[in-house]
Structures are given as C-alpha cells and as structure tokens.
C-alpha cells in the first residue's frame, strides 16, 4: 500500500500535484484527475480506481472492535493515547513514512483486541508494532538495536523479537490492511489540493489516530473526514479574511458542495448517507482535538510535529474549530 497514493513528503523530488492534461469531465463522468496524472508512474493511474474499490471492500472485512478496552484489565484509553502519542515521536525519530505509523497503530489496536495487554509491556507492543509495520512498508526499516535504544533500554532483543512474533501470530499474519492514510491521500491528489489543505488533513488524521473513539468508523471515513475538516478550515480562513460568514455544513446543500466538491465525491465514491457519517466522524475528531490541544494537555507530539516548517506550521497558523 505504500506506493499507491503518495503525498508530497514521500519523495521531496516528486511533485504530486499534477497539472498534466485536461481536467474537464469525460464521457464516463470522471472529473479527469486520473487522466491528469496518467504520465506519472508513482500515481498508478491505470489501476488507481481499482485499488480504491479493493480497499473499500477490504476494510469491511477487517473487524475493529471499538470497545475492546472494556475487556482489558490493565490498559486504559488514556494509556493508549500516551502510547500512540509516543509512536508519533518514534516514527519521526526513525524518519519513517506516514503509512508505517498508521499501520503500526492498526497493529496495536487489532493485537489488543485479541490479547491481554499489560501496563509494563504496552510500550513493548507499540515499538514492536512499529518495527513490524516498518518491515512491511520501508526500504530500510529500523534495526532491533534502534528499537531497544528508543525504548530507553527497557526491553531486551529477545523480548522484542518474541513480541514481534506474538503480534504477527495474533493478527494471523494479516499485515496488509487498509488504513485511513491512502484514502486521504487519494482524495487530496484527485482534487489537486493546496499544500495547506494537505498538511491540515494530515494533522487531523494524526489526531484521529490518538482518538480511541475513531475506531467506530471505517478507515475510509476517517481519511475522508480529515480532508473535509481541512477544506472547511481553509475555506473559513479565506471567508474570515474577506469578512464573510463562516461555512456551516448544516446550513445548505451549497455548503456541502463547497466543502466536499464534485471531484472529491466522485473519487471517494461517497453518497449523501455516507457524507453524514463522514461529517459525524469529523466532528468527533474536532472534539478530541480540542482536548489534546488544550493548555492542560500532556499530549504534545502531534501539535509539535505540525508546528514545524516541514508541515507548514499549520498547527500554529490555523485554529481548528469546535465543530463543522
């Protein structure tokens, strides 16, 4: 899945916002995004639609229990947030791709759905999930000794290898699973999103990874919800500059058309009912964002990441609303 729909940060020498060809609607009803990137091999334009359809079907076959922590005796929602917040820093320290991070979070959740977690070994599960995801996604995954170092020498090589095997076995070696990232990336590429929209969507997606409540939604819904938030935030920022009223998705159909344009709806394969679910997911992400971005929050990894130049300082330049 790593090479399917790459965002700009995947390769600094590759421009993903293609402008090749005519973007007008063709006879099939397509807005033409696939045709625009037809000459860019890394977009897999010839197979992109089939890949999306496969991922949309595949995500429905993977059960994610949104209440699995109830069955855990020693692992709480707060501990999960702390772990994923730490994994954000780990994936930055190892300079891993975004796909690796979201796959690692998926491994952690699916592992804890079937195995008993312990407070003393939760970090071990996290670092082993990241190692396993890196082996799946990266050309040069981190070495075991680096995982030992990043865990402050808390665990031995033997413990890491044993836990890695335990995770793979618990997941029945179903390691190639859809995460929210490729869905978000696909829509951003198809609508030729601006850099700020891309960075804001990635910011919201990282926030959603920390949110245990997001597990109730399919990965595609989370990815699309992140793009929806980014669109609304940037649109309202421009409206505020022009002294215009803020866009509200509950106000009119025209608001929906502006926040989720025809190109996005076509390539995301969303209908009106699905958009209601996506909007609900987006509001849940924003509620959680208000919690972790509050002055009293102890979870700073995501905000710190998106306050950097690499991500356009969107966490500093844009204020996420309470709702949309």
Are the beta carbons of 104 and 121 closer than 8 angstroms? no
pLDDT digit string (tens) for 3-57? 455 443 433 333 333 333 334 444 444 566 666 666 666 667 677 778 888 999 9
- pLDDT at residue 239 is higher than 50: yes
- The CATH topology of domain 45-60+178-317 is Cyclin A; domain 1 (1.10.472)
**Where do the structural domains in the chain lie, given as residue ranges?**
45-60+178-317, 64-170
pLDDT bracket for residue 244 (50, 70, 90): confident
Same fold, 45-60+178-317 and 64-170: yes
Long-range CB contacts (within 8 A, 24+) of 207-210: 207/285, 207/288, 207/289, 207/292, 207/302, 208/180, 208/285, 208/288, 209/84, 209/88, 209/101, 209/102, 209/105, 209/180, 210/81, 210/84, 210/85, 210/288, 210/292, 210/299, 210/302
Residue range 64-170, CATH number: 1.10.472.10
Q: Which residue has the tokens 């690499």?
A: 310
122/269 Cα distance (integer angstroms):
37
* 77-101: average pLDDT: 97
State the chain's mean pLDDT as an integer.
87
Give 48 or 137, the one with higher predicted confidence: 137
Listed residue (282, 208, 217) closest to 247, CA to CA: 282
* 166-170: average pLDDT: 97
pLDDT digit string (tens) for 178-228? 999 999 999 998 888 999 999 999 999 999 999 999 999 999 999 999 999
């Amino acid at each position: 899945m790593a090479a399917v729909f790459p965002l700009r940060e995947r390769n600094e020498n590759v421009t993903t916002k293609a402008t090749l060809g005519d973007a007008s609607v063709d006879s099939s009803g397509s807005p033409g995004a696939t045709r625009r990137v037809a000459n860019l091999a890394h977009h897999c334009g010839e197979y992109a639609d089939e890949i999306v359809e496969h991922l949309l079907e595949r995500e429905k076959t993977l059960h994610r229990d949104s209440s699995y922590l109830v069955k855990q005796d020693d692992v709480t929602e707060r501990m999960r947030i702390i772990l994923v917040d730490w994994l954000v820093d780990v994936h930055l320290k190892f300079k891993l791709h975004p796909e690796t991070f979201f796959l690692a979070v998926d491994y952690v959740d699916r592992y804890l759905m079937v195995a008993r977690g312990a407070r003393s070994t939760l970090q071990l599960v996290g670092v082993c999930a990241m190692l396993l995801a890196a082996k799946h996604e990266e050309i040069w995954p981190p070495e075991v000794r680096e995982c030992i170092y990043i865990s402050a020498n808390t665990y031995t090589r033997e413990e890491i290898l044993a836990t890695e095997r335990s995770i793979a076995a618990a997941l029945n070696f179903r390691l190639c699973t859809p995460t929210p990232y490729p869905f978000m990336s696909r829509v951003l590429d198809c609508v030729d999103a601006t850099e700020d929209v891309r960075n804001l969507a990635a910011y919201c997606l990282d926030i959603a990874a920390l949110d245990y409540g997001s597990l109730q939604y399919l990965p595609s819904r989370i990815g699309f919800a992140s793009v929806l938030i980014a669109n609304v935030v940037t649109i309202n920022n421009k409206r505020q500059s022009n002294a215009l009223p803020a866009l509200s998705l509950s106000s009119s159909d025209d608001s929906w058309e502006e926040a989720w344009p025809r190109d996005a709806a076509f390539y995301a394969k969303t209908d009106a009912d699905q958009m209601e679910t996506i909007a609900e997911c987006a509001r849940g992400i924003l509620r959680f964002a208000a919690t972790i971005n509050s002055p009293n929050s102890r979870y700073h990894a995501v905000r710190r990441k998106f306050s950097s130049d690499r991500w356009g300082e969107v966490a500093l330049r844009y204020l996420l609303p309470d709702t949309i």
